[in-house]
Amino acid sequence: MRRYANLLAVVALSTNLALHAQTNELVIQTKKLGAEIQPTMYGLFFEDINYAADGGLYAELVKNRSFEFPQHLMGWKTYGKVSLMNDGPFERNPHYVRLSNPGHAHKHTGLDNEGFFGIGVTISPFILSQVIGGKAGWRGGYRIAFIIQLAITALLACTLPVWGKVHPVTEAGPQKRTKDLRLGEIARIPGVKLMWVLFIASCAIECTCGNWASTFLVEVRHVTAEQAAGMVVFYYAGMALGRFLSGLLAARLDSWRIIGIGQAVLGAALAILLLPGTAWTAGIGLFLTGLGNGPMFPNFNYLTPRNFGKDVSQSVMGTQMAASYVGILAAPAICGVLGQAVHMGIFPIYLTVFYLIMLAAARKAKLIPPKP
């Protein structure tokens, strides 16, 4: 009651101040439109069904991890001497538990968490820990991870014919607004293969940088592993900034113009990485690589309805995402093999090859006539 009384007092005071405040005028310019929201851009419906707010956001899947549920020990099973405390140092999270000696030699004190329908554990970290701890080291660990991913990909490819039998495609009524096309039909659409190449090249640069930039800094620019790990943060900061600026520029520039600016920045970045220099010039090059390549992926997506029409955009986007994963999975692995066989000095050359492929494909893709 005391909380509600305080709340009512605040509301009353706010209302009183508002009545005596100067009247403000809010002008809405309905004729001044902002950036267009593509009709093919899908969002995510968020609610607390199936624990989306808790289990979906907490990677460790610990239920009621800070003991702040209305029932403070919900999700926990206690044994021994466990005391719930509410005098914690944080105002918003005052609750915690105190574990004490159970007072008996054959008893123990502890807590068990039930998780969200159990706490999922993947086998990959266990396998990698066993391999990395042995003679194979990190290279062997990455090799095992690649083999596992390759096997999963092959398994999914083998099961593709079964998907149609389990979930048969049904014909919709005349009001259907999109077309479901097969892969062969999509591949025959003019310009689709060019966009596949653009997605592969962009994702190849993005993931190769993320995986091998630190190795390049250690083996070529001769920095310590700790310094290299810190400098790779520049790359991800550039990537985040590039996509943020791309969103701001979308209100004034079309996608091809933003892509052109990004490609110019990316070209300058690769020139810095190719030229001899210090570790810090390489760090600047990595930052600019992220800054220039960051806008590519979202803007390539935005071009889909323009290039191929809204009715087939959903089908085309699915193949574009598949092409992206070709670059994500294959390009870093190939770079690692080449770096081991030759030298990691090939890292900027390898990125430049994909950059040149991107430039050539983009030049032709610009000629795709817009669809109504």
Task: Judge if 254 and 109 occupy the same domain.
Answer: no
Average pLDDT in the 35-51 region? 56
Residue 77 pLDDT > 80? yes
Rounded to the nearest integer, the mean pLDDT of the chain is 79
Lowest mean pLDDT among 148-152, 177-181, 186-190, 201-205: 177-181
pLDDT, tens digit, 9 for 90 and up, residues 80-138 = 889 998 887 777 788 889 988 888 777 788 888 877 655 555 555 566 667 766 777 77
Task: Please check whether residue 201 lies inside any domain of the structure.
Answer: yes
Q: Are strands 110-113 and 96-100 parallel, antiparallel or unpaired?
A: unpaired
The band of 23, judged by pLDDT with boundaries at 50, 70 and 90, is: low
Does one domain contain both 62 and 131? no
Residues 197 and 104 in one domain: no
Same domain for 116 and 131, yes or no, is no
**CATH assignment at residue 350:** 1.20.1250.20
Q: For residues 258 and 336, is the Cβ–Cβ distance under 8 A?
A: no
Let me know how long the chain is. 372
Q: For residues 214 and 354, state if they share a domain.
A: yes
Backbone angles phi, psi at 185, to 5 degrees: -65, -40
27 domain residue, yes or no? no
Identity of the amino acid at 288:
L
- Number of structural domains found in the chain: 3
| pLDDT, average across residues 161-167 | 62
Cβ count within 10 A of residue 241: 14
Q: Residue 111 is part of which domain span?
A: 54-120
Domain identity same for 149 and 207 = no
Residues 205 and 345 in one domain: yes
Assess whether 361 and 290 both reside in one domain.
Answer: yes
pTM more than 0.75:
no
Question: Are 234 and 348 found together in one domain?
Answer: yes
**What angle (nearest 5°) sits at the alpha carbon of residue 233, between those of residues 255 and 149?**
80
